[in-house]
Structure formats: C-alpha cells, structure tokens
C-alpha cells in the first residue's frame, strides 16, 4: 500500500505549482514567462546550495545536469512556448498525457508493472483536464502541440530517471543541483527570445519571490523527495492536481465562472487520481525494490 502521508506531502508540490497562474496574473510583469521560469529555479537552487553546502560528486555531476535539464531547463521553455501558442488550456491537456508516458517508460527503466486500471485512469485524466481547462475557441498550433508534448515527455523521462538514479545524497542537495542546472540552461534562451523588463515594481518582486521560494525551493524539494518514495506512475498522476488547483483558485479568488463541463472535468480528474492512488504494489513482487531502482 502507498504511504498516505507521503502521498499527501508530495501532492503539495503540484498544488503549489497550481498557484502559478494566479501569481502570474496578479503580481508578475506581462510577457515574461522565461524570466519567471529562470527566477523560479536559479535563486531557489542557490538558496538550497547555501544551506546544504554540498557540490555534486562522481557521476552526479552529469546525472544532476541531465535531471535538471529534463525537469526544469527543457521543460520550462517548452511549457511556456506551448502556453503562448495554444490558448484555451490545450497545453495543460497535452500535459495530462504525462501519466501514460511515465507508465510506458517506467516499465522499461524501473520495472514497474503496466496496469490496465492505471492506463484507463490516465485516459480519464486527459479527458478530465480537457473539460476543466479547454475553451471552445482553442486553436491547435502545430509548433505549440510539439512544444507541449516535448515538455511533457522531458519531465516524464526526468521523473523515471530520478527513480532509476537513486542516490544517498539528501533530497535538499539533489534539488539544489537540479534547480541550478535548470536555471542556468534557461538563461541563454531567455536572453535570446525574451526582452527583459526595464523596471520591476515591489509587487513584481513579491511575485518572483513567491515563485522562487514556494514554487521552486519548497515545491521541488517535496517533489523530488516524493519521487524517491513513491512509484513513478503515482508521481505523474499527482501532477493532475496542478490544473485542478489553478481552476479552483480562479473560481474562488478571481470570480471566474465554472461551467458544467468544468465541474464534470474536475470530478473526472479526482476520480482518476483516486483510481491511480489505489493501485497496490506496482513493482513485480519478485523484484527487490532497492535493487531495481539503482
């Protein structure tokens, strides 16, 4: 059985990421998504590094770089590109494909079983998120679709490799390395494609600080610690909480109206999560977990 306390703790990470839309809308300067991504990752990583005071060693120099690229450095720019080119929540819907990608990769890389109930729950999650966030006026842009699927695939691979490359390094230290690598990889893209704001208000600084501390340092520390303890497929399903929280906050705090379709979508997402989290031992019973995840 899954440890409920670990599941609930790990679920806090996508819930915090679900507040990004509200914070961006209310506090951040317009048209600066890559700046937001870089400032969410790099300062958070530096803060954690100052706390842990530990540098990568051995193979973890390149492993932390790969994981930082997949989970942050590649994922963020593709996510924001998709969000700009796919209005109406299509990007979030394509992101909901992640549990299915993770299931496929986890079978090959960490020996988790491919279960029919989890596949059905994954398909239901896609339907639920689409009802939750897609508007009737949504446009399908080929580049946007490619970016959304590329970002989703990158993070899915990052989740599975994080399971495969277990380490004795504390989660706080591993999180610091990945955030720093990811932030450094975003900066060149930021300087090429996005104009830096000439002036930041106190409100902007509060928004960036929130994203860095809560959405960066805290959320990713919780997330990567959860990856160590939970099956990769379970982790990927928890990501469905992000659009659910974003929609709920829009309704509660921004007075956005919920349509009947969105209410049905939210119910489907919660049902898919319940089914996914009810899965028992997802590793073959004959396989020693500690050995399998090395």
118/100 Cα distance (integer angstroms): 8
Rounded to 5°, angle at Cα 227 from 224 and 232:
145
Q: Are 151 and 239 in contact (CB under 8 A)?
A: no
- Is 239 within 8 Å of 159 (Cβ atoms)? no
Is residue 258 left, alpha or beta, with left meaning phi > 0 and alpha meaning psi from -120 to 50?
beta
Only one residue has tokens 């919660």, namely 270
Q: Could you count the other beta carbons within 10 Å of the beta carbon of residue 213? A: 15
pTM of the model: 0.84
Going by C-alpha positions, the residue among 132, 158, 167, 147 that lies closest to residue 264 is 132
Q: Tokens representing 28?
A: 């951040």
User: The dihedral of CA 215, 216, 221, 226: what is its sign?
Assistant: positive
Domain ranges of the chain: 4-281
Measured distance CA(18)–CA(249) in Å, rounded: 8
> Per DSSP, which regions of the chain are E strands?
none
The pLDDT value given to residue 90: 67
Contact (Cβ atoms closer than 8 angstroms) between residue 185 and residue 74: yes
Q: CA triplet 257, 87, 182: central angle to 5 degrees?
A: 110
Q: Is 92 left (phi over 0), alpha (psi -120 to 50) or beta?
A: alpha
Q: State how far the Cα of 215 lies from the Cα of 20, in Å rounded to an integer.
A: 8
Q: Are 236 and 159 in contact (CB under 8 A)?
A: yes
Question: pLDDT 10s digit of each residue in the chain, 294 long?
Answer: 678 899 999 999 999 998 888 888 889 888 788 898 899 999 999 999 999 998 888 888 899 999 999 999 998 888 777 776 765 566 677 778 899 999 999 988 888 887 888 899 999 999 988 888 776 555 567 887 888 889 899 999 999 998 888 777 788 888 999 999 999 999 998 999 887 888 889 999 999 999 999 999 999 999 999 998 899 889 999 998 988 888 888 888 877 788 888 889 889 999 998 888 886 544 443 333 333 333
Q: Which two tokens stand for residue 126?
A: 């896609």
């Amino acid at each position: 059985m899954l440890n409920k306390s670990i599941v609930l703790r790990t679920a806090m990470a996508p819930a915090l990421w679900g507040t990004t839309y509200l914070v961006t809308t209310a506090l951040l300067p317009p048209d600066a998504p890559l700046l937001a991504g870089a400032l969410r990752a790099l300062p958070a990583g530096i803060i954690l590094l100052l706390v842990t005071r530990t540098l990568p060693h051995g193979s973890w120099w390149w492993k932390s770089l790969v994981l930082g690229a997949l989970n942050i450095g590649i994922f963020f720019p593709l996510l924001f590109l998709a969000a700009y080119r796919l209005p109406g929540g299509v990007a979030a819907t394509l992101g909901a494909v992640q549990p299915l990608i993770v299931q496929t990769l986890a079978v090959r890389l960490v020996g988790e079983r491919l279960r029919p109930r989890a596949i059905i729950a994954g398909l239901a999650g896609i339907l639920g998120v689409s009802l939750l966030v897609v508007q009737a006026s949504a446009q399908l842009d080929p580049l946007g679709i490619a970016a959304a699927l590329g970002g989703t695939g990158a993070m899915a691979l990052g989740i599975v490799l994080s399971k495969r490359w277990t380490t004795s390094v504390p989660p706080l230290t591993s999180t610091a390395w990945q955030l720093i690598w990811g932030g450094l990889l975003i900066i060149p893209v930021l300087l090429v494609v996005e104009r830096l704001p000439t002036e930041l208000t106190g409100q902007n600084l509060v928004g960036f600080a929130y994203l860095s501390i809560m959405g960066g340092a805290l959320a990713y520390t919780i997330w990567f610690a959860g990856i160590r303890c939970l099956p990769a497929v379970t982790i990927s399903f928890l990501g469905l909480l992000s659009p659910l929280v974003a929609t709920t906050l829009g309704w509660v705090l921004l007075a956005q109206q919920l349509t009947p379709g969105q209410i049905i979508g939210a119910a489907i997402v919660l049902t898919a999560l319940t089914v996914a989290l009810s899965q028992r031992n997802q590793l073959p019973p004959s396989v020693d977990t500690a050995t399998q995840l090395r």
